[in-house]
Amino acid sequence: MKEAAVAIVYPDQDTFDAHVTSVLELLPGTRAFPGCIEAHVGVSTERQEIAIFHIWESQQYLDDYLAWRADRGDLDARSKTMRREQSFSTFSIP
């Protein structure tokens, strides 16, 4: 079964643009990762939020991807400059 992942990132106002740049730089690697069907980023400058949307061939591919990003330190790279912890949810796609 396919799996969707949605993350909302809440950067500090002073680091918002740097966060957007960083997330956009990670996007090609996400799209190229085995099992990734789609990956997109949405930006709300008004709310100072970044939304990250992924669709994966299966939960296992998503788990492999998240482990890869964690091992590289990508998931923690900007956590010190966020006004609150990101939200992260997954959904099975029937």
Beta-ladder partners of 52: 7, 41
Q: Which domain holds residue 37?
A: 2-93
Strands (E), the chain: 2-11, 36-44, 49-56, 82-93
Kindly report the CATH number assigned to the domain that includes residue 60. Answer: 3.30.70.100
Domain count, the chain: 1
> In Å, how far are 6, 44, 81, 94 from 15, measured between CA atoms?
21, 14, 7, 38
Asked if 51 and 42 count as a contact pair (C-beta separation under 8 A), the reply is: yes
Report the predicted TM-score, pTM, of the whole model to 2 decimal places: 0.89
The predicted-structure confidence for 29-85, as pLDDT tens digits, reads as follows 999 999 999 999 999 999 999 999 999 999 999 999 999 999 998 877 677 788 998
